Amino acid sequence: MSADQFVQYLVSGVTQGSIYALVGLGFTIIFTVTGIINFAQGEFVMLGGMISYRLIASGGLPLPLAAILSILATAVIGAILYLLAIRSARKASVVSLIIITIGAAILIRGIVGQLWGNDPVRPPYFSGEESLSFLGAYIQPQALWIIGITLVVMIILHLFFSRTMMGKALKACAVSRVGASLVGIDAKSMALISFSLAAALGAIGGVAMAPLTTTSYSIGTMATLKGFVAASIGGFRSQLLTVVGGITVGIVESVAVGLNWGPFTSAYKDAIALVVLLLILLVRSGRLATEERAS
């Protein structure tokens, strides 16, 4: 692999990894606030992309408006998921919650497939299609949008969690749900907010990614798995490590496929990321177990 190619794969890895990071952040936020891991997380990415495409293609809305509406709509769906499924199963065991969120995932995927068909769709680029040249690599403007949006989202999230009352209340729930409710924080509304926020983050990723890679009703499972890899690198606690993890997974996947040797080909792209997932889970298994008990 030449240096030019390497830069090319690096850039596409960072782009793809940004999406994993956004999904991973969603996982982390819901887990720290509620102690739940939502297996429908990747469906929010799918919803973001599919809704924005529908609003542009069938609704004729301008792109910025469609993007914002689809993110808001997905946030509402996240809230509905919490209210209908998670909240009504208050005393459910972990196994039940896993099954419930998986049920939600295939329900959402099935409905979208029925409403809008099974074919992949591609919403328009945010700006021009002309590739830019950078260190011998060609970069699509959309990739810059994705990386830029992820950066902005991270900064806003950081400010939200450190400067605003609501962000601090969410953080308090993450430290101790009992303690938070003792000082008058309503843990249930915080859980609701965490689901909406996570859904919105996934949708942002979906809206930004869809013009570059196309989107379809069935992309959710992979998004869930890869976002989970990112979040488990961050131990479901650290937002910074989650972002680093997501981008690392993106780069590993992209460069490994670029090797084009033995099993490192595009056919095994997803399998490579999943092997990374298994390795991380095994290396961190002791730590994850203690964290789970503490939450």
Told to check if 219 binds another protein by CB under 8 A, we report no
In the window 12-41, what residues touch another protein (CB under 8 A)? 37, 39
Region binding another protein by CB under 8 A among candidate stretches 55-63, 111-119, 206-214, 238-246? 111-119
Q: Which residues pair with 132 in a beta bridge?
A: 139
Told to check if 274 binds another protein by CB under 8 A, we report yes
- Closer residue to another protein in complex, CB, 147/229: 229
Binding mask 226-245 for another protein (x = CB under 8 A): --x---x-------------
Told to check if 259 binds another protein by CB under 8 A, we report no
Please identify which residue in 61, 72, 102, 144 interacts with another protein, judged by CB under 8 A. 102
Region binding another protein by CB under 8 A among candidate stretches 12-20, 45-53, 89-97, 120-128? 89-97
- Closer residue to another protein in complex, CB, 111/156: 111
Binding mask 129-168 for another protein (x = CB under 8 A): ----------------------------------------
Told to check if 294 binds another protein by CB under 8 A, we report no
- Closer residue to another protein in complex, CB, 12/221: 221
- Closer residue to another protein in complex, CB, 118/127: 118
Told to check if 89 binds another protein by CB under 8 A, we report yes
Q: Which residues pair with 121 in a beta bridge?
A: 215
Q: Cβ of residue 75: shortest distance to another protein, in angstroms? A: 20
Told to check if 50 binds another protein by CB under 8 A, we report no
- Closer residue to another protein in complex, CB, 161/268: 268
Q: Cβ of residue 37: shortest distance to another protein, in angstroms? A: 4
Told to check if 221 binds another protein by CB under 8 A, we report yes
How far is Cα 121 from Cα 207, in angstroms, rounded to an integer? 12
Q: Cβ of residue 146: shortest distance to another protein, in angstroms? A: 24
Q: Are 192 and 199 in contact (CB under 8 A)?
A: no
Q: Give me the DSSP letters along the chain.
A: --HHHHHHHHHHHHHHHHHHHHHHHHHHHHHHHHS---TTHHHHHHHHHHHHHHHHHTT---HHHHHHHHHHHHHHHHHHHIIIIIGGGTT--HHHHHHHHHHHHHHHHHHHHHHH-SS-B-PPPSS--PPEEETTEEE-HHHHHHHHHHHHHHHHHHHHHHHSHHHHHHHHHHH-HHHHHHTT--HHHHHHHHHHHHHHHHHHHHHHHHHHH-B-TT-HHHHHHHHHHHHHHTTTT-HHHHHHHHHHHHHHHHHHHHT-BTTBSGGGHHHHHHHHHHHHHHHTHHHHHHHHHH-
Told to check if 187 binds another protein by CB under 8 A, we report no
By CB atoms closer than 10 A (0-12, 13-18, 19+), residue 90 is exposed
Residue 287 tokens read as: 């730590």
Q: Are 220 and 39 in contact (CB under 8 A)?
A: no
Contact residues: another protein, CB under 8 A: 37, 39, 85, 88-89, 92-96, 98-100, 102-111, 113-114, 118, 221, 225, 228, 232, 267-268, 270-271, 274-275, 277-278, 281-282, 285-286, 288-289, 292
